[in-house]
């Protein structure tokens, strides 16, 4: 099973390894637990934009900040279904619906969201929601409607959290994750780097995520996209080297999790993204927007997939999860115990097997 007792010191030691050594270790673990040539593609849809009462320093949807974001009321079920069909045609297997709410309120709007979940589920697509804080009963109602995943990011370490947001506490976020865990809905929870936090804070966030039991099935790693009008508008963009280290460290600490390469991809070259996939990222958000921030065009992503030989993951595709192993164990493990895609020369081996079968039949 995955480890749930990582310490900040251990994670910092991993994060600060020589880069080539870090990438090799992460890639080795990634190949043990995942098909390195498959990447899950999601489409993020803002079903209700702007007017949020929270004060998250990175978010242009906060009502108190003066940004150019155009707010809109909750979309209709038919509008959401039409967007989901377009996303599916473009190669997405999951639709993530986001609403700029502090917390979910029972009533007509929540009933409409439940109907959106049912409608997308009927399209044979995974459905994810990020709607703010949830009660246990609301989580159960989403599960009954067919929700596949719920996103609720921790954002950063508990220590740095108060520098990012004051309108809710770290425990509030953990409580929502706990409410989701009381259902069969999977958890998607990650954070943002580039908000002025230290490397210690990045490690602290990974401690908080990795010590959850079970660990989140999905961990988005976002690079801050500074938006004019927000308190973080002048933060310096993170480098590709920082993203690589964060992705690789996340992969090592949470080997069975899908690591999502999320906000900030527009600032990354294809080569940079390819290195992130090598380091263990195996999920992206497609479409020209991530709620309100820019994102690469889906056609650009599909061209990148073609160049890298990557295949979009199918909806509801679940693989048997092997037990986690240490980096040392994974390096010395028997070739026969590794997935065939991770064995050098497996095509030759397959051809020899076919030839032997033919001789036997003859």
Give the active site residues.
52, 56, 59, 96, 128, 188, 260
Of 106, 46, 95, 109, residue with least CA distance to 72 = 46
Cα–Cα dist 348/354, whole Å: 10
Query: Phi/psi of residue 234, each to 5°?
Result: -105, 10
Tell the residue number behind the tokens 């439940």, with chain if given: 114
76-96 burial: b if 16+ Cβ within 10 Å, else e: ebeebbebbeebbebbbbbbb
Concatenate the DSSP letters of all residues of 194-237 into one string.
-SS--HHHHHHHHHHHHTSSSPPSEEEEEE----TTSTTTTPPP
Which three-class secondary structure state does DSSP give residue 300?
helix
Cα–Cα dist 93/199, whole Å: 33
Report how many helices (DSSP H) and strands (DSSP E) the chain contains, helices first. Answer: 13, 12
Give the orientation angle of helix 199-210 with respect to helix 8-15, to 10 degrees: 120
Cα–Cα dist 13/286, whole Å: 33
Distance of CA 186 to the CA centre of its chain: 12
Strand partners, 149: 128, 186
Which three-class secondary structure state does DSSP give residue 91?
coil
- The residues near 345 (Cβ < 8 Å, ≥ 6 apart) are none
Strands 94-99, 126-130: pairing kind: parallel
The runs of H, that is alpha helices, within the chain are 8-15, 19-33, 77-89, 108-121, 136-145, 158-164, 170-181, 199-210, 240-253, 270-278, 298-308, 327-332, 346-361
């Amino acid at each position: 099973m995955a480890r749930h007792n990582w310490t900040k010191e251990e994670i910092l030691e991993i994060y600060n390894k020589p880069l080539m050594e870090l990438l090799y270790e992460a890639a080795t673990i990634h190949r043990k637990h995942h098909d390195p040539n498959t990447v899950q593609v999601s489409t993020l849809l803002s079903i209700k934009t702007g007017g949020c009462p929270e004060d998250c320093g990175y978010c242009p949807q906060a009502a108190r900040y003066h940004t150019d974001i155009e707010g809109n009321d909750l979309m209709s079920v038919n509008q959401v279904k039409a967007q989901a069909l377009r996303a599916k045609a473009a190669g997405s297997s999951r639709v993530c619906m986001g609403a700029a709410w502090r917390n979910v309120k029972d009533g007509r709007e929540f009933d409409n969201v439940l109907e959106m979940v049912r409608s997308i589920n009927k399209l044979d697509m995974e459905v994810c929601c990020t709607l703010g804080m949830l009660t246990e009963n609301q989580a159960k109602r989403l599960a009954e409607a067919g929700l596949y995943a719920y996103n609720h990011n921790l954002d950063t370490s508990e220590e740095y959290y108060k520098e990012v947001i004051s309108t809710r506490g770290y425990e509030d976020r953990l409580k929502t994750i706990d409410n989701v865990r009381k259902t069969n809905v999977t958890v998607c929870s990650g954070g943002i780097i580039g908000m002025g936090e230290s490397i210690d804070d990045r490690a602290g966030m990974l401690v908080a995520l990795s010590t959850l039991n079970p660990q989140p099935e999905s961990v988005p790693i976002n690079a801050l996209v500074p938006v004019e009008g927000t308190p973080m508008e002048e933060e310096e963009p993170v480098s590709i080297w920082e993203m690589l280290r964060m992705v690789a460290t996340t992969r090592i600490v949470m080997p069975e999790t899908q690591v999502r390469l999320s906000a900030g991809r527009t600032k990354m070259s294809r080569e940079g993204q390819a290195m992130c996939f090598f380091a263990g990222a195996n999920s992206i958000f497609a479409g020209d927007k991530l709620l309100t921030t820019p994102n690469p065009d889906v056609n650009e992503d599909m061209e990148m997939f073609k160049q890298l030989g990557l295949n979009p993951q199918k909806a509801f595709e679940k693989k048997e999860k092997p037990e986690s192993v240490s980096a040392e164990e994974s390096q010395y493990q028997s070739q026969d115990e590794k997935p065939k895609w991770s064995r050098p020369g497996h095509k030759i081996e397959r051809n020899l097997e076919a030839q032997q079968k033919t001789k036997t039949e003859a």
